[in-house]
Amino acid sequence: MASMVANGNRDGQSLVLKGVDPETCMIVFKNHWAQVVKILEKHDPLGAQRFGNIPGDEANAVQNYVEHMLFLLMEEESGQAGAMGPILEFVVMENVMERLFVWSLRREFTDDMKLEQLKMYEMLVGQAQQPLLHHKPILRPLMMLLSSCSSTAMPEVEAELVLLLHQLCCILAKDLSILELFFHTSEDQGSTNFLIFSLLIPFIHREGSVGQQARDALLLIMSLSAENQRVAKHIAENTYFCPVLATGLSGLYSSLPTKLDIPSEEWHCLHREDWLTVPSLVQFLNSLEFCNAVTQVAHPDIRDQLLSYIYNGFLVPVLAPALHKLTLEEVMTTTAYLDLFLRSVSEPALLQTFLSFILLHRHESVHILDTLISRINTPFQLGTVSLALFRTLIGLYCEDVMLQLVLRYLIPCNHIMLSQRRVVRERDCYSISAARILALTPSCCSPDRSPPPLRQLDSILFSKGADTPHKLSSTEETNLLSDDGSGNSCTIGSEIYLDVSYLHYLYDARRSISSCTRACQVWSALYDGEDPPPDRYEPGVLEESGLKFRQTALRKVPPSLALPPRPSVPRPAPLPTVGQLELEWDDSYDVCSVQVDTTPVENKPAPFPPAELPKHIQDMRRTATMLVKGSYIEENEFQDDVMVYNLVAKKDTTDADRMELNPGLLQSNENHPSPAEAPVQHALSLKLPPSVVADDGSNGLDSPKTKKQVDCNAIVQNAAAASAERSDDLLAQYEELLRTLDSEAGKKQVKGDGEAKKPVTPRQEEDEEDMDFTCFSAETPEAEKVSAPFGSVHKLRKSGSASRIQSVPFTGPFVSVLLSRLENMLSNSLHVNLLLTGILAQLAAYPQPLLRSFLLNTNLVFQPTVRSLYQVLATVKNQIDEQAARRKELPELITAAQHWLLARETLFMENGDYAFLFFYFSSGSSSPFDGARILKNSPPPKPKAISLDRTEVFATVLFTEFLKELAAIAQEHSILSYIPMEE
């Protein structure tokens, strides 16, 4: 049937029909129909002739007649005032379409048959001159056809089905009145489904054009839902749309490569060129993009439900474990994926879902964020990829992200001396900070020493008035009457050789700060040391509050729906090997009623309030200190990391096992940044006999802080349960370790933990120690008093305890890690340094006075334990100077490196990557991806005169440029941050 329709040669026909008298058409139509009816009646079911018995010639005849009839119907214009045309009226009256459909059912209803019918309707719906779908006799057979196609497998039929569905959706979007009919017709079919919609769902994640078309069609319905409560309600409550969409992500994710082929050592994030070559990744991103679009246009009910499924069905059960896989490569790959996902999502609500996962979710009681931060310090690719992820994060201008990363550590203003608080808001009117930063320029990199063309010096005329030469003087005596009649000098040195590249840095800084300032106008507070007030800073309870609304959204789904969706939904294959336990995504998703029950676990107040959060932060901090002390050894760290991942993976093994692992861990503890040490410390703190603080049980029990402490300890108590004998051993080792560290710190006169205690008065220390252990006192008799070893354990715990955050100034793990890596600039590879300085430059461009003063104000007096960016820069400068003094060949190498970097930049510019900087290495002002593109695109030919392995040489050049970049940012801040944005 409709073979001509299928062949698409109706144009000829329409030409023939044009201008034909409508009445003639009607007569032809009726005649044809009469012929058809004859054949139809001949094979009436009452005649007991079932399918298969219809002779071919009769079938052909019907087909030919029908073709002609359809053309006539399509070409018919609607009657007066929108009334039906006579043919249409006839079709409706005679129920032509339904009878034809039944006829085709009676014959063998093959896929080919379906295909033809679909094409017929597709043409009819798409090209009819008058609205057809309003009429049940047309709509009903269409719906029957559609539902008969729901279980088909033939690709051509699917393609045609989706095409037709898409067309129907287009019509729906234009004419809401049809919507009701679709629902009603579905009801007639005994189905509560919104059939068009349900049929599309299986194609959500389909690749290729069919999937794309299905998603487009669904989006049309989604935007329909925003205005139509009924559609929204139906989709949210009666369909599998959201679960299918979200779990589809999980399924697609599971088919992504677990390891990526790293093109080069410079590689640090997935670019378009990268992911385009991975079909599974393209498919995933298509679906993610679709989620993004749905979030954008759908009704809030649907949106919230979808987001909750993405959170609970993809992020938590799939991505979180994937971020904690066993090998560095796998973890690195997941990190790169996460970064890519964040860059692909644009809709704030969806972004919020991802961000709250990163910021608030705990995996194995450690915040994802903290784990990610700790990985910045891992050597090799993982550290680099993690840096790239954070560059993306801080490039979002998201208050919540910045709050968690940096600001919350600065709000209490503990990092500065009390008297300095007002300085936070002060402006640097005279570019003092810029001058001090630039003064760190190593002498071997002085612009004076660079030969052209590296020496980007040029004369810049500050005073453009100098073309009217007059005697210049700033003194009163030379009060000559020159042509301006005043004799006043007004020249800033008439012609001066300047480092021209600095102008570009200034320009870039201006752009960067301006766009950042604009973006931050939506923030809730100024972060200027007063708003929010330092003393009112509540560490608060970091719960996954984002889940609340999701819970409710989930509950709206009737339990009957909490079943696995239709089989057509791509079911994620179980992820390979490692961490089977964590990867049970389908369990957690499939039984979503169960999930509703279990989620409260996640939803309950976090055991560790964030400011006290703890072990890993404190680890980070210690690591930072270690790094400062120069004990950073990459190999060791790497080993530790593997061990850490092992630990994480074996989390469910017994505590005894854990204890066996611990000694090894402990030995390398000093240069170990990983959060996974947490278990160890849990164990450690637990070993403390309950007696420890028995003497002071009543002290401060009712202060909120104490309560937190109690909570904390209680958790710790639950968390670990190991044998006491072994712990003694462990404690001794640990204690020993810390002692050596302390003494080293003293020797090296580095501001480390040792000094950290200084600001704290002894009495305070006692109090806090008391509080730390009050919980034990309640349960234990006074008699068991502190014994010597535990006394020192006290100290141990203190030095690292997270509860010190309030008393011992700490600017947060993120800043610590960045500064640690910066301090090692000379041994970092070029691209790590590019990322690192880019991140710091972006941070410095934020206008919040707390952040700005912390990073850029060289006048600010910090607490002794706080390391400032300036301090670290000074350290690096000293390293460079020492090196320059030792190595005579350095100047030539530096020149060679400069040449190469310059050539590199020229290349980028030719490739269309705009860069304003002499050595563009900041992603600061441009979008976060530009820098990435630059890094990626083109390792230019390897430098000839110098090996890229000479990291110290490249670092020296970058360092010098970084100083200029920071100074330029500081200078622009002194102007921009004080101009009222709006009056």
Partner 1 sequence: SRPLVDNEEQSGHGEQRASPSRLPFGKKQLPPIPKTVAPITKPMSTGPPVQSTNGTHASYGPFYLEYSLLAEFTLVIKQKLPGIYVQPSYKSALMWFGVIFIRHGLYQDGVFKFTVYIPDNYPDGDCPKLVFDIPVFHPLVDPVTGELDVRRAFAKWRRNHNHIWQVLMYARTVFYKINTTDPLNPEAAVLYEKDVQLFKSKVVDSVKLCNSHLFDQPKIDDPYAISFSPWNPAVHEEAKERMFAFKRRPEDHHKGTQVSGLSWVKPGSTQPFSKDDNPPQS
Residue closer to partner 1 by CB (options 277, 497) is 497
| Residue 902 in the binding site for partner 1 (CB under 8 A) | no
Candidates 107-115, 162-170, 188-196, 533-541; binding stretch for partner 1 (CB under 8 A): 533-541
955-974 positions binding partner 1, by CB under 8 A? 967, 971, 974
Residue closer to partner 1 by CB (options 170, 349) is 349
Nearest approach, Cβ of residue 815 and partner 1 (Å): 17
Q: What are phi and psi of 476, to 5 degrees?
A: -65, -35
Please identify which residue in 174, 464, 888, 944 interacts with partner 1, judged by CB under 8 A. Answer: 464
Please identify which residue in 492, 594, 903, 945 interacts with partner 1, judged by CB under 8 A. Answer: 492
Task: Please say whether the beta carbons of 242 and 592 come within 8 A.
Answer: no
* Tokens, residue 736: 């020993």
- CA 104 from chain centre, in angstroms, equals 52
393-432 positions binding partner 1, by CB under 8 A? 396-401, 403-404, 408, 411, 427, 429-432
Question: Among positive and negative, which fits the CA dihedral 274, 278, 284, 285?
Answer: positive
Nearest approach, Cβ of residue 157 and partner 1 (Å): 38
Residue closer to partner 1 by CB (options 153, 522) is 522
| Residue 478 in the binding site for partner 1 (CB under 8 A) | no
Candidates 49-57, 519-527, 636-644, 861-869; binding stretch for partner 1 (CB under 8 A): 519-527
Residue closer to partner 1 by CB (options 933, 973) is 973
Candidates 187-195, 286-294, 390-398, 626-634; binding stretch for partner 1 (CB under 8 A): 390-398
| Residue 929 in the binding site for partner 1 (CB under 8 A) | no
Task: Please say whether the beta carbons of 529 and 852 come within 8 A.
Answer: no
Task: Please say whether the beta carbons of 527 and 407 come within 8 A.
Answer: yes
Strands 496-499 and 457-460 come out as: antiparallel
| Residue 903 in the binding site for partner 1 (CB under 8 A) | no
Indicate the burial class of 255 (C-beta count within 10 angstroms; 0-12, 13-18, 19 or more). middle
CA dist list (Å): 768 to 130, 705, 772, 804: 82, 10, 6, 9
Nearest approach, Cβ of residue 722 and partner 1 (Å): 34
Candidates 94-102, 386-394, 439-447, 756-764; binding stretch for partner 1 (CB under 8 A): 439-447
Q: In angstroms, rounded to a whole number, what is the distance separating the alpha carbons of residues 869 and 836?
A: 12
Please identify which residue in 133, 438, 688, 712 interacts with partner 1, judged by CB under 8 A. Answer: 438
Candidates 146-154, 244-252, 310-318, 513-521; binding stretch for partner 1 (CB under 8 A): 513-521
296-315 positions binding partner 1, by CB under 8 A? 296, 300, 303-304, 307
Question: Among positive and negative, which fits the CA dihedral 117, 122, 127, 133?
Answer: positive
Nearest approach, Cβ of residue 306 and partner 1 (Å): 12
Residue closer to partner 1 by CB (options 227, 538) is 538
- Per-position x/- string for 331-370, each x denoting binding to partner 1 as judged by CB under 8 A, each - no binding: ----------------xxx-xx--xx--xx----------
Nearest approach, Cβ of residue 746 and partner 1 (Å): 32
- CA 380 from chain centre, in angstroms, equals 22
Task: Please say whether the beta carbons of 186 and 199 come within 8 A.
Answer: no
Please identify which residue in 26, 39, 435, 737 interacts with partner 1, judged by CB under 8 A. Answer: 435
Residue closer to partner 1 by CB (options 307, 934) is 307
Residue closer to partner 1 by CB (options 524, 598) is 524
Candidates 540-548, 622-630, 813-821, 894-902; binding stretch for partner 1 (CB under 8 A): 540-548
Q: In angstroms, rounded to a whole number, what is the distance separating the alpha carbons of residues 647 and 324?
A: 10
Question: Of 72, 63, 61, nearest to 13 (Cα)?
Answer: 72
* Tokens, residue 195: 């059939």
Residue closer to partner 1 by CB (options 211, 539) is 539
Residue closer to partner 1 by CB (options 609, 614) is 609
**Who contacts 244 (Cβ-Cβ below 8 Å, separation ≥6)?**
201, 202, 204, 565, 566, 569
Residue closer to partner 1 by CB (options 29, 918) is 918
> Which amino acid belongs to residue 6?
A
| Residue 225 in the binding site for partner 1 (CB under 8 A) | no
Nearest approach, Cβ of residue 506 and partner 1 (Å): 7
Nearest approach, Cβ of residue 242 and partner 1 (Å): 16
Residue closer to partner 1 by CB (options 28, 457) is 457
Instruction: Compute how many residues bind partner 1; rule: CB under 8 A.
Output: 106
* Tokens, residue 167: 């067309």
Task: Please say whether the beta carbons of 135 and 92 come within 8 A.
Answer: yes
Candidates 47-55, 336-344, 496-504, 663-671; binding stretch for partner 1 (CB under 8 A): 496-504
Candidates 85-93, 231-239, 539-547, 677-685; binding stretch for partner 1 (CB under 8 A): 539-547
Beta partners for residue 367, in sequence order: 362
> Which amino acid belongs to residue 405?
L
DSSP of 244-257, one letter per residue? HHHHHHHHHHHTS-
| Residue 436 in the binding site for partner 1 (CB under 8 A) | yes
How many other CB atoms are there within 10 angstroms of residue 720's CB atom?
20
Residue closer to partner 1 by CB (options 155, 469) is 469
| Residue 373 in the binding site for partner 1 (CB under 8 A) | no
Task: Please say whether the beta carbons of 427 and 872 come within 8 A.
Answer: no
Q: What are phi and psi of 880, to 5 degrees?
A: -65, -45
* Residue 781 zone, left/alpha/beta (φ > 0; ψ -120 to 50; rest): beta
- Per-position x/- string for 598-637, each x denoting binding to partner 1 as judged by CB under 8 A, each - no binding: ----------------------------------------
Nearest approach, Cβ of residue 480 and partner 1 (Å): 12
Please identify which residue in 51, 109, 183, 462 interacts with partner 1, judged by CB under 8 A. Answer: 462
Task: Please say whether the beta carbons of 363 and 318 come within 8 A.
Answer: no
Residue closer to partner 1 by CB (options 88, 444) is 444
Task: Please say whether the beta carbons of 248 and 570 come within 8 A.
Answer: yes
Give the residue carrying structure tokens 């050597």: 379
DSSP of 844-902, one letter per residue? HH---HHHHHHHH-TTPPBPTTPPPHHHHHHHHHHHHHHHHHH-TTHHHHHHHHHHHHH
Residue closer to partner 1 by CB (options 102, 503) is 503
Q: What are phi and psi of 328, to 5 degrees?
A: -60, -40
Nearest approach, Cβ of residue 508 and partner 1 (Å): 10
**Who contacts 593 (Cβ-Cβ below 8 Å, separation ≥6)?**
559, 562
Residue closer to partner 1 by CB (options 113, 349) is 349
**Who contacts 411 (Cβ-Cβ below 8 Å, separation ≥6)?**
527, 532, 534, 537, 850
* Tokens, residue 725: 């004998």
Q: DSSP code of 666? A: H
Nearest approach, Cβ of residue 144 and partner 1 (Å): 39
| Residue 39 in the binding site for partner 1 (CB under 8 A) | no
Nearest approach, Cβ of residue 455 and partner 1 (Å): 11
CA dist list (Å): 445 to 394, 792, 917: 30, 49, 17
794-853 positions binding partner 1, by CB under 8 A? none
Nearest approach, Cβ of residue 370 and partner 1 (Å): 14
Residue closer to partner 1 by CB (options 457, 661) is 457
| Count of positions (residues) in the chain | 983
> Which amino acid belongs to residue 412?
P
Please identify which residue in 108, 180, 484, 587 interacts with partner 1, judged by CB under 8 A. Answer: 484
Nearest approach, Cβ of residue 461 and partner 1 (Å): 6
Q: In angstroms, rounded to a whole number, what is the distance separating the alpha carbons of residues 928 and 843?
A: 12
Please identify which residue in 441, 709, 857, 879 interacts with partner 1, judged by CB under 8 A. Answer: 441
